[in-house]
Chain A
Amino acid sequence: MTNRTLEEDLAGLFSDKADLKAPATLRMRVAGVPDEIVHLGLVPRLALAAPRITRIAAVVVVLLLAAGSAWLRFGTGSPGAQGQALSIVNDAAPTPLPSGLSYSCPLTLTNMSLRVEVAGTRLVVVDATTLSPVDAVWPYGFSARLIDGKAELLASDGTVVAREGDVLTSVNGHEGSAGGAGGSAGAFDVTGFNGDCYTPSGVKVGSPRQPIPPVFSTGLGSQEP
């Protein structure tokens, strides 16, 4: 080898491949290529046949169209599949309960009914009887959105719990302690409605307990009023 040139050594290096033959398996695979490709749909076939630059250009166009569509939906504020967010006032994030403790539904003490309305970019509620606004503070995680021009109130798990015009019945909650984001004194902390109640973190925990009907004693036995 020392008397040979690099070029000769390089040529010799590949000489062991000179008699290499394509294996039978490869011959069969290549013979099956037309059947393999013909089963593809028209679009994949066109995609495979197109030059690489065309494929890249097609991907870029699709991405630009997707970005443009997303901008039109969300960037301009027009409603889309995700809708336009409406503002509501929420409770602050609750501190975790000590281990072993869990939330239960509070006693229902009010019999308030609230109608869901929209005011500008806010979802608001009014007393269904007096139509006076109620400064509601919703459980942490609740949200609101406008879908196809109609407002929706969502629980923390994304479930739609009310729509614009709906009347929430048996609204449960308490006044005055609103520590929520933006909650004002005298706000009403909603903890449940329509037979459901929610933890401060917005998780539905079940039906609220009903108050025990008062029992009057007449001395002659018990009877309900």
Chain B
Amino acid sequence: MADRREAFDRLTQARLDRAYRLAATILTGDAEAEDAVHDAAVQAWTRWATLRDESRFDAWFDRIVVNVCRDRLRRSATAARKAIVSWIDLAPGEVGGEDDALRQVVAGLSPDHRIVIVLRFAEDLDIAEIARRTGQREGTVKSRLHYALREVRAAYDAARRSRGADR
């Protein structure tokens, strides 16, 4: 028990900045990210026996964090969709910077699409690593990334066009 606790403390504390950053990028709001990482730590402690090799802790813990974030996003999916709808409804002259537009488009993605975008572009992970952290097959990850990018690109191009027309 003491060994297990020592290992838990050592590994989670070492990974905490990264886990918090991942949660904060996937979710909206620092407080929610903090709660998500805490929930992930609770799950990690209760499932400690399923971690067979400590050298795999990082990917194992990331996967728990991603799953917790996905559950939280699904619960708040309606709010996220409202955010993108409100942006789409804005007249061209009312649209903020393109970064803001892009941020809102990403916020409006479905939880699974948003997660692959974050893991690919914020965490700079390749397809195999994303698959490991989401528990999906590589083919599924590729497909989700493709459709997520297509969705983002459509909104992104629309924002650029409207901005060009506004000038």
B63 to chain A, nearest CB (A): 13
Q: How many residues of B contact A (CB 8 A)?
A: 39
Categorize the interface residue count of chain A. 20 to 34
Residues of A within 8 A of B (CB): 1-2, 6-7, 9-14, 17-18, 20-23, 25-27, 29-31, 33-34, 36-37, 45, 48-49
Question: Are the CB atoms of B45 and A26 closer together than 8 Å?
Answer: no
A48 to B13, CA, bound (A): 22
A49 to B8, CA, bound (A): 15
Question: Is B99 an interface residue when CB atoms closer than 8 A count as contact?
Answer: yes
Q: Smallest CB-CB separation from B98: which chain A residue?
A: A1
Question: Is B69 an interface residue when CB atoms closer than 8 A count as contact?
Answer: no
Beyond A6-B152, A9-B99, A49-B47, whether A31 also contacts B9 by CB under 8 A is yes
Question: Are the CB atoms of A36 and B42 closer together than 8 Å?
Answer: yes
Q: Smallest CB-CB separation from B37: which chain A residue?
A: A26
Interface of B is mostly: helix
Residues of B within 8 A of A (CB): 5, 8-9, 12-13, 16-17, 19-21, 24-25, 30, 34, 37-38, 41-47, 49, 98-99, 102-103, 106, 117-118, 121-122, 124, 149, 152-153, 156, 160
A9 to B117, CA, bound (A): 12
Question: Are the CB atoms of B20 and A49 closer together than 8 Å?
Answer: no
A48 to B45, CA, bound (A): 10
A29 to B156, CA, bound (A): 39
Beyond A22-B17, A34-B5, A49-B46, whether A9 also contacts B98 by CB under 8 A is yes
A7 to B12, CA, bound (A): 31
Question: Are the CB atoms of B45 and A13 closer together than 8 Å?
Answer: no
A22 to chain B, nearest CB (A): 4
Beyond A1-B98, A9-B98, whether A30 also contacts B38 by CB under 8 A is yes
